[in-house]
Amino acid sequence: ASAIGYFTAADPISRLPLIVSSSLATTILPAASEAYALKDQNLLEKYVNASYKYGMFFVIPMCVGIAIFAKEIMGLVYFTNSAYMNGAMSLAILVLGMTFYSIYTISGSIVQGIGNPRIPMYLLIFGCIITLGLGWYLIPNYGIEGGALATTIASFIMMIPMFLLQFRLTKTHAPYMFLTKVTIASLIMALPAFVLPNNSYGLIAGLIICPIIYMIAIVALRTLSHDDVAGFRRFTGKLGPLRKIANKTLDIIDKYSSDD
């Protein structure tokens, strides 16, 4: 019973990155529908690429960050009971699965927008069956970590066909290079976790240091184009007092952005 409690405690934290992907999915559905109805392939290509770029730019580092600081996060959130830190490994596994599920969510929303709502539904049902099957085998052998692994594997299996079908149906091009560079930058961002102390102070230091390293890696890898930076700049008006800092950061990134 206590193990189930640890899993239940880890699950909502692992779903935090879905806030970004779910918001984008809600936005992209009518946009993709409009572009598809107008038969404007260039506009559809723009919307599809933007949805993955804006989403994964935040989701991938968020998932990596939560995974590497899983123990510290569990200890901080559930500071009244340190036993919940036993759910850290489950959190780390689950949140990586949320990366896959985020891509599935964005892809599924685009596919729905162009008039194919059954495909995401069928894949979701298939994913539930896979989760149950894997859980039946993994949970008795590996406990709550097995349950988390079942969810992550099922999310990956759902993501692959949804991702590929979306590009086939929309006849757009996947931003593979962008996703690869963001993943590399996120992994570089994770390096300080190996030297920081495993406590709340280490978590606070990581929250300050890791985003800076991530942005440096993004610039060094020339991940964003000038158009991407312009797109991000449209959102800075909603950041309130952080608007000036965000715009200055984008100015620096824009100097080293690619022309693609």
Residues 137-161: pLDDT tens digits? 999 999 999 999 999 999 999 999 9
What does the pLDDT read at residue 233? 83
Residues 116-127 pLDDT 10s: 989 999 999 999
Residues 221-240 pLDDT 10s: 999 888 888 888 887 776 77
Is residue 184 within 8 A of residue 126, CB to CB? The reply is no
- Mean pLDDT (the chain) is 90
What's 37's DSSP letter?
H
Does 28 score more than 80 pLDDT? yes
What whole-number distance in Å separates Cα of residue 149 and Cα of residue 6? 15
What is the SS3 assignment for 225? strand
What whole-number distance in Å separates Cα of residue 189 and Cα of residue 214? 5
What whole-number distance in Å separates Cα of residue 214 and Cα of residue 165? 31
What does the pLDDT read at residue 81? 79
Is residue 95 within 8 A of residue 63, CB to CB? The reply is yes
Distance between the two ends of the chain, CA-based, in angstroms? 53
What is the SS3 assignment for 198? coil
Mean pLDDT of 194-202: 89
What does the pLDDT read at residue 24? 82
What whole-number distance in Å separates Cα of residue 186 and Cα of residue 217? 8
Does 246 score more than 90 pLDDT? no
Bridge partners (DSSP) of residue 225 are 258
Nearest to 159 by CA among 218, 89, 101: 101
Domain ranges of the chain: 2-174
What does the pLDDT read at residue 65? 96
Mean pLDDT of 170-180: 93
- How many C-beta atoms surround the C-beta of residue 137 within 10 A? 11
3-state secondary structure labels for all residues of 123-144: HHHHHHHHHHHHHHHHHHHHCH
Does 1 score more than 60 pLDDT? no
What is the SS3 assignment for 258? strand
What whole-number distance in Å separates Cα of residue 52 and Cα of residue 45? 11
Is residue 41 within 8 A of residue 171, CB to CB? The reply is yes
Mean pLDDT of 7-26: 88
What does the pLDDT read at residue 95? 96
Q: How many residues does the chain have?
A: 260
Q: Where are the alpha helices (DSSP H) in 171-233?
A: 176-189, 200-220, 226-233
Q: Of 6-20, 41-55, 246-260, which range is least confident?
A: 246-260
Residues 88-120 pLDDT 10s: 999 999 999 999 999 999 999 999 999 898 999
Task: Return the residue matching tokens 């690869």.
Answer: 180
Mean pLDDT of 16-32: 87
Task: Return the residue matching tokens 């640890």.
Answer: 6
What whole-number distance in Å separates Cα of residue 153 and Cα of residue 146? 10
Confidence of residue 260 (pLDDT cuts 50, 70, 90): low
